[in-house]
Chain A
């Protein structure tokens, strides 16, 4: 089973992602901020990381820069409500940028493209 780390400060969204992506056959671990995500990454291996950008503490772009120092090979999807972060070229360290919407279809499609089912 492919393992996904979801970094998202909105706990309801984490639960929703765990439920929806679980139905697709993925094992989801949630981290509510960047430090918790880095701690998870040191403990376990993941096949994919989905991260928000605007979070308390370190933001998602800072988190991605730190992940690149640890593991460059894990695909990363940015999942932000705000698409203008695309102007920040540090977001290029991620493999995809999905703007949050009421449907998870685009996110699920990107996950399949990057790691399969």
Chain B
């Protein structure tokens, strides 16, 4: 069983594996481990290997095909060896002093995006991307029914430099009993600026970016893709919905289709501009709506969900770790210019 420990100064939570490693040399990088095997000869996510995953919790599959057999288009399975385990409500404990901890309770699921090993999100038909995004919404809604999960994080690591251990396209979902610090910081910032502007700050950013256009990568009826003004990384992009909403799972059918097209377009632009880079994609959304509205009664008005995509082109090193500043060698205006042309 793992536990969550809170750094008393920064308020940052860390998942600590309490089953400890035996020897320091276990932490040496192991050849082969952690790499995305392109031709390992076996992949537990491929069609026909359904028996090697835990039983599916959700799948889009052909009519009449039984669970955990071929015939699926998108398949969701719990993590076989999760960092956090499902459980009852996690409670905050102390060790008698200032150190706080919680049980490592959570949900860890893997969304296998398609049965083909080599077909990445950018390569799939728009309709299939829409199906995957619909599954994100379905899983978020289902997990948020359990109120002890305060936040549901959807993220994708594509390529070994982005942290993927397997090249078969997949997205992960981790639900935690606390709101992550990064999300809390965004909510606090958005609340503060909502009080100043009397309007959602994300909506204001979208308006100003559309007016200037210099950092806009793509725009359609429902979504805008921008290279953020203070991008931390080269070619970082954010996808914002034009309709204000803190809740990703509130997307209607038309918006879902439009998001699929927007996401695919963005990923193709990144792929063609940067020669198929590794990337991380993260969804930032409101915490569990029931809990969020209790804690931040005006969250419906001040928070605005979005996707962030970070191509892995540089490494976070000592200066960034030490200061929290990032050095970005590509101005977002330049990045947006290149991406617009593709």
> Which residues from chain A sit less than 8 Å from chain B, CB to CB?
53-54, 58-59, 61-62, 64-66, 68-69, 72, 80-93, 97, 99-101
Q: Which of B27, B31, B41, B165 contacts A66 (CB under 8 A)?
A: B41
B166 within 8 A of A: yes
CB of A61 within 8 A of CB of B33, answer yes
Binary A-proximity of B285-317 (CB < 8 A = 1, otherwise 0): 000000000000000000000000000000000
Task: Write the nearest CB–CB distance from B185 to chain A, whole angstroms.
Answer: 26
CB of A82 within 8 A of CB of B27, answer yes
> Which residues from chain B sit less than 8 Å from chain A, CB to CB?
17, 19, 21-23, 26-27, 30-34, 37, 40-45, 49, 52-53, 80-83, 110, 165-166, 168, 170
Q: Which of B19, B30, B45 contacts A59 (CB under 8 A)?
A: B30
Task: Write the nearest CB–CB distance from B29 to chain A, whole angstroms.
Answer: 10
In the complex, 23 of the A-B residue pairs with CB atoms within 8 angstroms, ordered by the A residue number, are A54-B26, A59-B30, A59-B33, A62-B40, A64-B42, A65-B37, A68-B41, A69-B41, A82-B21, A84-B17, A86-B82, A86-B83, A87-B34, A89-B44, A90-B40, A90-B43, A90-B44, A90-B165, A92-B80, A92-B81, A93-B44, A93-B52, A100-B22
Q: Which of A54, A88, A101 contacts B166 (CB under 8 A)?
A: A88
3 smallest A-B Cβ distances: which pairs? Answer: A68-B42, A86-B81, A81-B22
Say what secondary structure dominates the interface of chain A. helix
A83: B residues at CB distance < 8 A: 17, 19, 21
The verdict on A89 contacting B166 (CB below 8 Å), with A54-B30, A100-B22 known, is: yes
